A and B are shown apart, each in its own frame.
Chain A
Amino acid sequence: MIYEGAGSFDEDTILVDRFVGGDQSAFETLYSRYYTRVFNLARGVLIDPEEAADATQEIFALVYRNLPKFNRQSKFSTWLFRISVNRSIQESRKRRFRNKTLELDQAAEHPAPSQGGPEPDPRVQLAMEMLAPQDRAIITLFYWQELSLQEIADSMDINLNAAKTRLYRARERFRQHFEEEPEL
């Protein structure tokens, strides 16, 4: 199975083998190949881009240390996403009380600096902030990473039905918060 934008299963396995054999450049290839996806996932869970960048570095540091222990029973990308989800949720819980909730007014008055792309919707951001980290993770994987339910189940180490149920509940909770926010 091939993830869009990432290398194939075989290519990843070859790179892992090369890294375990002592080729440092193989890890750099894996890092540059998956950095954006891991960062986007971390950002979906942590919301703050700087915290997400920090968490992404920690995730890859963890992968770097533990890659020799990777048992190859799953795809490298599945293993990587599982680490990313767990670490992001863990970081989100740790930083929950430190995070300053972005008020709707502030979001409207001080929107994120435009980088030429579409503007983020503050209602979506506020609704996401209201969710639990696990809910943010599954929504991010499904809507932003566009993973299938089976891939989500593998990445979260749950079965397919549990993934469906969790996605349904997370989506309903998101909708509830989203519809409570006044339209700008």
Chain B
Amino acid sequence: MWAIAENDTVDAVYDFEHRFPKYQQELMRRIKTVSALKAQGKTIPSREIPVFQARPIALDRKPIQWLGYAAVSLAVISTAVLAATSNKPTPAVKPVDVNTQRRKAIPELPIATPSVPIGQATPPIDPAKNPAPKPTNQFKKSDLILEVTKLHSAIQLIAASGEVTVTIAPGLENPDVQVSFTQMTAMEMLTALAKDYAFTPVVDGEKHILILPVKDDSNPQDGNEELN
């Protein structure tokens, strides 16, 4: 039927309609379609032929696009990882000497730097303007009862209860723990917990405790000596 529609000769159409009268409408539709298609080809206006310039061929940019998508994905993942890790500042990973850390943990005497140049009279101290320093939070005692929870979470909660911050050094295992402390400082709680879970809490500044995944058996009473 397409061949008859394309040739569109009167005899062929008449013959077809005579033999297959019920397909007459179908043939008419095909003739219409073909003539519309052929006519469309003749409507393309002739263009002036431009001067040929042997220009560089546009490369298929698909591989470049894929590289771009890969780079963007990598950047997003890196940013996410960086954001996740930057919330928990981790110390530089290097072999930890517990004794050195413990020596560092002993608070050093502050070197007094005169606020007034030497030789000048020291102004009288106004107790109203310069109140006595408050005791550090490491001495704050609190109660803490935790049902089954992960060790890392328990350490963080202990720190929060004592209003101090902790940094857990890499390598500390994270088993389930259950704790119940009454009227203890954060350092006392951590020291007690350290006996069962092979880590050592070390004071690292006024409100910061470092958790080292090493058990120091040399002196089990150490660790909270400077606090108690």
Contact = CB atoms under 8 A, between A and B. Distances in A.
Interface stretch (B15-23, B49-57, B108-116, B129-137): B49-57
A178 B47 CA distance: 27
A58 B41 CA distance: 22
Contacts of A35: 49
Contacts of B44: 40, 43, 144
Contacts of A117: 42-43, 45
Given A120-B43, A174-B37, 17 more contacts: A31-B49, A35-B49, A36-B49, A39-B47, A43-B44, A60-B52, A61-B53, A117-B43, A118-B43, A119-B43, A120-B40, A121-B36, A121-B40, A124-B40, A125-B40, A140-B41, A174-B33
B37 A139 contact: yes
Interface of A: 27-28, 31-32, 35-36, 39-40, 43-44, 49, 53, 57-58, 60-62, 64-65, 90, 115, 117-121, 123-125, 128, 139-140, 143-144, 168, 171, 174-175, 178-179
Contact of A64 (B40, B42, B54): B54
B54 A61 contact: yes
Interface residues of B, number: 27
B52 A62 contact: no
A65 B57 contact: yes
State the 3 A-B residue pairs at the shortest beta-carbon distance, nearest first.
A144-B41, A120-B43, A115-B45
A179 B29 contact: yes
Given A27-B52, A61-B57, A117-B42, A124 B36 contact: yes
A175 B57 contact: no
Contacts of A125: 40
A53 B45 CA distance: 12
B60 A90 contact: yes
B30 interface: yes
A60 B56 CA distance: 11
B56 to A, nearest CB: 7
Nearest to A90: B60
